[in-house]
Structure 1
Amino acid sequence: MLFKARLKRACNRQGHAVFVLIICLCFFLSGLPLSAQKKSRPKQTNASATHIVLTDKETSRYRIVVPTAATPHELKASQVLQDYLLQISGVALPIVAANKGRSRYEIVLGQNERLAEAGINVDFNKLKEDGFLIKTDSLRLVIVGGNEKGTLYGVYTFLEKYLGCRMYSPKVKVIPTQKQIVLSPINDLQVPVILFRDTHYRGTWEAEYTDWHKLDHDKEGGRPDWGMWVHTFNELVPPQNYYKEHPEYYSLVNGKRLPTQLCLTNPAVLEITVQNLRRKIAQNPTATYWSVSQNDNRNYCTCDNCRAIDEREGSPSGSIIQFVNQVAVQFPDKIISTLAYEYGRKAPKSLRPRPNVNIMLCSIEVNRDKPINEDPASTDFRRDVEEWGKIAKDIIVWDYVIQFNHLISPFPNLHVIQPNIAFFAKHGVTAMFEQGNREVGGEFTELRSYLISKLLWDPNQNVDVLMDDFLQGYYGVAAKPIRTYINEMREALQKSGAPLRIFGTPYDAATTYLTPTLIRRYEQLFDEAEAAVNQDSKLLERVKIARLPLEYAIMEQAKKNFTGKQGVFVKTDGKWQVRSAIRAKIDSFTDLCNRQGVTQVKEWSTSPEEYRAAMYRLFSQGMKEHLAYNKKVKFLSPVAESQPTEAGRMLTDGVRGSHDYAFNWFSFSGKDLEVVIDLEEIKPVKRIESAYHQFAFWLGILPKKVEYSVSMDGEHFEPVGLVNNTLPIDQYGAIQRDFVAEFAPRNVRYVKVKAYTIGNTPEWHPGAGRPATMRIDEIVVE
């Protein structure tokens, strides 16, 4: 309005001719066509030599200029910038092509011809694919990026770093409004050291989150540049097609050919691999990376030819690299990736990967309580990183930041994420895949996703600053007690000196960072956090979700303790009852998981509803002092000498297993179960039950059948029940099954239970040819 008032006064003083002259002069100086001057414009003061006023009171002289032949990513960058500037300032800046006129007031995006006109030199080779430059030049703002998404990444960084925007999760964004956007001088060049950046958290798959945080995956979590990802031997040489007629194509393990891995020195295997890979590439020719990599087991080939190479090279990676090099020769325009994982992690002595071979190095064995570069237990892994770095031109690290058996469980590893990523970057790693939770939910999922994404782009950022910013933005005034919770749990872990493992459990931590005393302290902190935001339903829900892992840990420890202090069951007036504090947790826990959309609480198995069902199964089974309770168990198979001393006691101690096979389940492999229980005196019996656990993906498989028989003398047994299994072994989730025999009452002293294993797994199974594991938790006699 000030500009219009000045024009009106000029018109009144000098007349119409002067008025027209002033208008023409203003348009000439601004460089804008008449049609653009419909609104009042912000005044560019003398300070404009060092500052740019992009918008002022819902007005702006600026426009967004894209290259004449803009790429889809550059066009998207312009639309993103336009949209957010509108939300921040209320001003919709026009988007124009570089060949549509000139102005002094421009935001120049992308690899734009306007750069040369303005004398702005940019080294695009230095920017690579994703790097960018944000720069002020006189009155211009320039955001220019590498050949892929660099310009788009530059726009999101500009919004975050210079305008205060945040995207904490796909559903939580901060867009501060500003009446005036004023920019100080900027000269910000960013080129990531980690060129391929991916973290496996479901929430990061949302399209804008992916772009905002500069991640390399699509909306399904896939990687478009990868035609095949990992564990591909069976896909390239399918056992169902070849094993029966050509077992020699597969691993020789303990003198027997098994379809667990490939025989990598068999010429026919190489030929079939190349043929099938060629077909797959023809179906997806734009993909660059193709994995030719070991299956997820340790049964590699030990035939004479394979063993000779591996012994010469000092590692089974020898036969792997020789084979993959031969494949890579056939595809010079593609990159053939292979795993340096478990048995193949150590680099070969003399063999070198070809230039078009990618090494995917996996850190599955290292601890998560100390940074890799400080942990004495990680010495071998550090050596492997360094040795592969000397011989391979293309390395991607597959790192792990999750506790697999308990996806919703306290896992205090946040303090090692930054130093570990920095360690890899320092040793020449240019691609990283951080395996988090592929399912929805988990401990601090949003925080972990945020930190990892930021650190993959720049490993040298201050993680405390990043964390505090996130906690404040995501939890509001509850941030302080939640940060205290994170700090105190970390301190307890470090003080204990105990290792933190990705296959650990909440009950392993009962003497370290999840002691009863510490749990009470953590509950107090969350009570404080909830009270701080109890008037804000959204923040309160987020705090309760952050509390879920603590609730889960309490329930899991209760199952382990069972009848002990804080266990599931308590004896009241001579009767075992479910402890009310534990019963009260399961429904609120499950309901909140369902509201959040949590899919699994354990890798590959156990949905929240299945977890609830397992808990209620435990409640209903109760703590029973049945006829066989605490009675002696004699092992006929497997032999007692091969079992732990507590094996017999586990079968009659009244303690029942639940969804997790890691505790309260007696496990063994490759044998039938045959045991005899002495009831110590003759008693009437009418029912015998035994419970078994199946997690077939990891070889835990139900018995084919269970036979029950009884005896008075312990030598002559009468059959009283036969229960056949009717459940398949190709359902890889967790299953619990009670095998129950009921019969007419009879007097009994001895009870025999025989459960028949299926033997070795069939050829189609992921653990093909390996002995099945049987898991049993209790034999109940009534």
Structure 2
Amino acid sequence: MKKIFQHWTGYTLTLALVLATSLHFKPPASGGIELVSNGKSEYTIVVAPDASPQVQRAAGLLQRYVEKISGCRLPVANQPATRNKAIFIREVDGLKYDGYRINTLPAGNLSIEGGKSRGCIYGAIQILDKYLGCRLYSPRYKVIPSSKGLHLPTLSESDSSVNSLRIVFTLNEFSRDEDLLDWTRTTNRFPPFADNYYVHTFTHRLLPPDSFYKTHPEYYALIGGQRVPDQLCMSNPDVVRETIKQLRKDIPLQPDRLYWSVSQADGPLYCQCPDCQKTITEEKSVSGPIIRFVNQVAKEFPDKIISTLAYYYSIVPPAVTKPLDNVQIMYCGGDLAAWGRISKHIYVWDYVVDYFHYQCPYPSLFMAQPEVQSQVSKGANEFFIQGNIDYGMEFAELRLYLYSRIAWNPNVDVSATIDEFLKAYYGDAAPYIRKYIDRITDAYEKTKSKKPLIINTPPSYYQDTYLTPELLKEYNALFDQAEQAVKGQDVFAEHVHFARMPLNFAEMEIAKHNMYGPTGWWDKTGTVRNKKMDALFDDFYTTLKKEGITDINENSYHLDDYKKHTLFTTSNEAAVGNLAWHKKVMTDSPLLVRMHRFYTADLSMLTDGARGDAATRNLFWLVWPYKEFNVTVDLGKVKKISTADLGAEWGSGTTIPPASVECFVSTKENKDFTSIGRQEWHYDQQKTGDSDWRYVYNFKTDTKARYVRFHIIRHDRALSGRKKGMPAQTLLDEIEIR
């Protein structure tokens, strides 16, 4: 202990003397310091013997990257060597959040001071990035200069963020690259959140149905008269006790983690038992039972921050109960100012991503800044910007570069930041990429009142706004120029071509929506295939495969599955020989238009000759909210038929085929129907075949008919899994009559 104390005392005295004399220090006329000269250095990186992990990391980064640039490895020690110069790195009080100070000291020494979180790291990186030219743009593209001499100007600068927590959501290679995350001044979720405790923990982590539902169904939400294992009953004191019990087991396993989520499962349903309903009435909000519940948990763990959601049904703050000081509100919508008036910790979840279609052109680059600025003005200072940054996401590298800088400084010059990145990442193609970004953004801004960006929507949704055929032609012309500008420049050419893939994706998906015609996969007869679409697909698949892309949406939807589904959906088998192709469809239960995943109520989707797949269900599947209904197709005239097929999606959770379908035929208009068979679907049936996402009700006959009617009865509730007991939904696709 004595030796350590002496080392610490020596470090403190040395730095104190240097700082004191710096008040009278005048830099040499030449200015600055020679950090490395001819591959050698007089400098030692000096840290305290008991330096914190962030100080040690800052020293390690500086040492490692200076060596990468110059070949010179600066020693790290607790005191400067005799007659050597020093770079002092230390934590200090008084710097906000991750703030830092960098100052040149007497005799050419250097001081890097940081706040108690990551300020020292960011100070070291500021020197490496701004002054030594080390630039990290992605896990695979890092610019490290090479020079045997490194000069630093006289430095006196500081910086800090208005936001204490800044997480730009990264995945896979991006999330594993600690240097890249530090360069962009953002972090992963884990830490600061505990592993497996980020969000939706009620039934995923705290009270999993597999462990409790069978013996204690009363722990779970009462919905429609049944206990549903997807959500918890907030008013049950045993649920509180079990939650605290589980946290007492888990917190000691991760003692350094500050944030622990106690939050509702995903989805719109909540407990409707009398006690929960009473609290909802008293609090004038469904969030009331949640905040009361979470407060009881947070009281038991005063040194931790217990995080919960303001999401779906819980976005309105309670009227009576305030969150405890160690409760974090993870805000996902609603009145932020109202939450800010009652909550100490507001963590904003900003959505700037298309979950289901990573490759969809999604002009949201300019949306994040005004959102963050507004949210900061209302009291938020913790941010999660969900960009799903990963290879395969449109402009992933640019989004990380931009969003992280907005999170650090909400008033950053967005346009200049974009230009800075484009020049570094796309070289001579940068002006054309910028023109593309500006053009698609302008097209969206002019039409957003008609169709704003909505998470989960496919390119075809925007085919009459910012993805019209005319605009796609303009966009592709700009990329033609961009690719020509970097022809023969391997790295930049690869970057540009990969950035073009969202346009391929948009054209292919829009063509699926217009399968038979000039912009589709087939001509209007359904017999001549559009070779351009196959070329776009081959380019798309080959390019993403070469880049090692596996997932192309948030639900781990694989590129190879996309290939399988695309080949299935773009087959003409549902058109050629199908007597129902392009025939009129009628129903006694009209559909409502949905502006989200299933946005169409167009009955012609059932006879458009395009079978639904597991990825583009919002293109081809119609969702039916009714328990019992009829769907009738008019063949136009009496025809001989041998089979009648109706497809239904066989997904997971609540998306299951109907309980039964009965098929009727008639030669007369809307009367005298005769049954040709009835089929049932049971949850224990096995999936078979290549299209295992789709169940087909197949009826064989030998008769004549003009009208073919399907009488459909759906299951009331999901029959298995975590969604067991929740209302089931029926999704139908192609009717095929032969």
TM-score by length of 1: 0.82
Counterpart residue number, 1:652:
607
Query: 1:510·1:557 contact (CA, 8 Å) conserved in 2?
Result: yes
Q: Distance in 1 between matches of 2:211 and 2:687?
A: 19
Shift of 1:159: 0.7
Counterpart residue number, 2:717:
760
Query: 1:89·1:177 contact (CA, 8 Å) conserved in 2?
Result: yes
Give the letter aligned to residue 495 of structure 1. Answer: K
Taking a change above 3 Å as real, the CA distance of residues 745 and 222 of structure 1, as seen in their structure-2 partners, is: farther
Q: Distance in 2 between matches of 1:542 and 1:92?
A: 33
1:103 aligns with 2:83: yes
Taking a change above 3 Å as real, the CA distance of residues 729 and 217 of structure 1, as seen in their structure-2 partners, is: farther
Q: Give the match's secondary structure for 1:454.
A: helix
Query: 2:512·2:570 contact (CA, 8 Å) conserved in 1?
Result: no
Shift of 1:238: 3.1
Query: 1:708·1:741 contact (CA, 8 Å) conserved in 2?
Result: no
Counterpart residue number, 1:51:
32
Alignment map for 1:415-434 (pairs within 5 Å):
415-434=366-385
Give the letter aligned to residue 75 of structure 2. Answer: P
Q: Give the match's secondary structure for 2:528.
A: strand
Q: Distance in 2 between matches of 1:439 and 1:88?
A: 28
Q: Give the match's secondary structure for 2:93.
A: helix
Q: 1:89 aligns with which of 70, 79, 82?
A: 70
Q: Distance in 2 between matches of 1:292 and 1:200?
A: 20
Q: Give the match's secondary structure for 1:470.
A: helix
The CA deviation string for residues 14-40 of structure 1, in whole angstroms up to 9 with x for no partner, is xxxxxxxxxxxxxxxxx9xxxxxxxxx
1:702 aligns with 2:657: yes
Counterpart residue number, 1:239:
209
The CA deviation string for residues 508-545 of structure 1, in whole angstroms up to 9 with x for no partner, is 22222212111111000101111111202222121111
Instruction: Report percent identity of matched pairs.
Output: 36
Counterpart residue number, 1:523:
476
Taking a change above 3 Å as real, the CA distance of residues 763 and 650 of structure 1, as seen in their structure-2 partners, is: closer
Shift of 1:439: 5.6
Q: Distance in 1 between matches of 2:556 and 2:691?
A: 6
Q: Distance in 2 between matches of 1:279 and 1:79?
A: 35
Taking a change above 3 Å as real, the CA distance of residues 433 and 159 of structure 1, as seen in their structure-2 partners, is: same
Q: Give the match's secondary structure for 2:620.
A: coil
Q: Give the match's secondary structure for 2:28.
A: helix
CA RMSD of superposed structures (Å): 3.2
Q: Give the match's secondary structure for 2:350.
A: strand
Query: 1:227·1:284 contact (CA, 8 Å) conserved in 2?
Result: no
Counterpart residue number, 2:95:
127
Query: 1:723·1:739 contact (CA, 8 Å) conserved in 2?
Result: no
Which deviates the most, 70-79 or 746-755? 746-755
Shift of 1:653: 4.1
Query: 1:721·1:743 contact (CA, 8 Å) conserved in 2?
Result: no
Query: 2:569·2:610 contact (CA, 8 Å) conserved in 1?
Result: no
Q: Distance in 2 between matches of 1:353 and 1:392?
A: 6
Query: 2:432·2:482 contact (CA, 8 Å) conserved in 1?
Result: yes
Query: 1:669·1:771 contact (CA, 8 Å) conserved in 2?
Result: no
Question: Any stretches of 5+ residues in structure 2 without a counterpart?
Answer: 1-13, 15-25, 594-599
Q: Distance in 2 between matches of 1:491 and 1:547?
A: 18
Taking a change above 3 Å as real, the CA distance of residues 63 and 515 of structure 1, as seen in their structure-2 partners, is: same
Counterpart residue number, 2:178:
207
Give the letter aligned to residue 761 of structure 1. Answer: A
The CA deviation string for residues 163-193 of structure 1, in whole angstroms up to 9 with x for no partner, is 2221011111112334543322212222222
Give the letter aligned to residue 478 of structure 1. Answer: A
Counterpart residue number, 1:317:
287
Counterpart residue number, 1:40:
none
Counterpart residue number, 1:136:
104
Q: 1:640 aligns with which of 589, 595, 605?
A: 589
Query: 2:357·2:553 contact (CA, 8 Å) conserved in 1?
Result: yes
Counterpart residue number, 2:642:
686
Which deviates the most, 555-564 or 445-454? 555-564
Larger-Rg structure = 1
Counterpart residue number, 1:629:
581
Taking a change above 3 Å as real, the CA distance of residues 521 and 69 of structure 1, as seen in their structure-2 partners, is: same
1:510 aligns with 2:463: yes
Give the letter aligned to residue 589 of structure 2. Answer: A
Query: 2:579·2:737 contact (CA, 8 Å) conserved in 1?
Result: yes
Query: 1:404·1:502 contact (CA, 8 Å) conserved in 2?
Result: yes
Q: Distance in 2 between matches of 1:148 and 1:128?
A: 9
Counterpart residue number, 2:21:
none
Counterpart residue number, 2:167:
198
Shift of 1:628: 2.7
Shift of 1:196: 1.8
Query: 1:274·1:330 contact (CA, 8 Å) conserved in 2?
Result: yes
Shift of 1:281: 2.4
Taking a change above 3 Å as real, the CA distance of residues 523 and 162 of structure 1, as seen in their structure-2 partners, is: same
The CA deviation string for residues 410-444 of structure 1, in whole angstroms up to 9 with x for no partner, is 11111122232233333332321111226641110
The CA deviation string for residues 555-608 of structure 1, in whole angstroms up to 9 with x for no partner, is 11111222244122213xx55322221122112111212222223333315322
Give the letter aligned to residue 150 of structure 2. Answer: I
Q: 2:129 aligns with which of 160, 165, 171?
A: 160
1:476 aligns with 2:447: no
Taking a change above 3 Å as real, the CA distance of residues 734 and 198 of structure 1, as seen in their structure-2 partners, is: farther
Counterpart residue number, 1:561:
514
Q: Distance in 2 between matches of 1:258 and 1:192?
A: 44
Query: 1:720·1:741 contact (CA, 8 Å) conserved in 2?
Result: no
Query: 1:439·1:600 contact (CA, 8 Å) conserved in 2?
Result: no
Alignment map for 1:413-492 (pairs within 5 Å):
413-437=364-388, 440-492=391-443
Q: Give the match's secondary structure for 1:125.
A: coil
Query: 1:192·1:457 contact (CA, 8 Å) conserved in 2?
Result: yes
Q: Distance in 2 between matches of 1:272 and 1:738?
A: 41
Query: 1:89·1:180 contact (CA, 8 Å) conserved in 2?
Result: yes
Give the length in aligned residue pairs. 697
Which deviates the most, 517-526 or 147-156? 147-156
Alignment map for 1:141-152 (pairs within 5 Å):
141-152=110-121
Query: 2:206·2:243 contact (CA, 8 Å) conserved in 1?
Result: yes
Taking a change above 3 Å as real, the CA distance of residues 520 and 725 of structure 1, as seen in their structure-2 partners, is: farther
Shift of 1:668: 0.6
Q: Distance in 2 between matches of 1:285 and 1:197?
A: 22
Give the letter aligned to residue 109 of structure 1. Answer: I
Q: Give the match's secondary structure for 1:47.
A: coil
Which deviates the most, 739-748 or 387-396? 739-748
Q: Distance in 2 between matches of 1:162 and 1:262?
A: 54
1:176 aligns with 2:145: yes
Alignment map for 1:332-343 (pairs within 5 Å):
332-343=302-313
Query: 2:527·2:572 contact (CA, 8 Å) conserved in 1?
Result: no
Taking a change above 3 Å as real, the CA distance of residues 749 and 494 of structure 1, as seen in their structure-2 partners, is: closer
1:776 aligns with 2:732: yes
Which deviates the most, 509-518 or 423-432? 423-432
Q: Give the match's secondary structure for 1:684.
A: strand
The CA deviation string for residues 289-337 of structure 1, in whole angstroms up to 9 with x for no partner, is 2211111122222333323332333322222111111111222222211
Q: Distance in 2 between matches of 1:335 and 1:76?
A: 26
1:396 aligns with 2:347: yes
Q: Give the match's secondary structure for 1:603.
A: coil
Query: 1:134·1:144 contact (CA, 8 Å) conserved in 2?
Result: yes
Give the letter aligned to residue 609 of structure 2. Answer: G
Counterpart residue number, 1:373:
none
Query: 2:174·2:390 contact (CA, 8 Å) conserved in 1?
Result: no
Q: 1:593 aligns with which of 544, 549, 565?
A: 544
Q: Distance in 1 between matches of 2:87 and 2:526?
A: 77
Q: Distance in 2 between matches of 1:491 and 1:606?
A: 31
Q: Distance in 1 between matches of 2:132 and 2:685?
A: 57
Query: 2:169·2:188 contact (CA, 8 Å) conserved in 1?
Result: no
Counterpart residue number, 1:410:
361
Alignment map for 1:337-376 (pairs within 5 Å):
337-363=307-333
TM-score by length of 2: 0.86
Taking a change above 3 Å as real, the CA distance of residues 646 and 408 of structure 1, as seen in their structure-2 partners, is: closer
Counterpart residue number, 2:10:
none
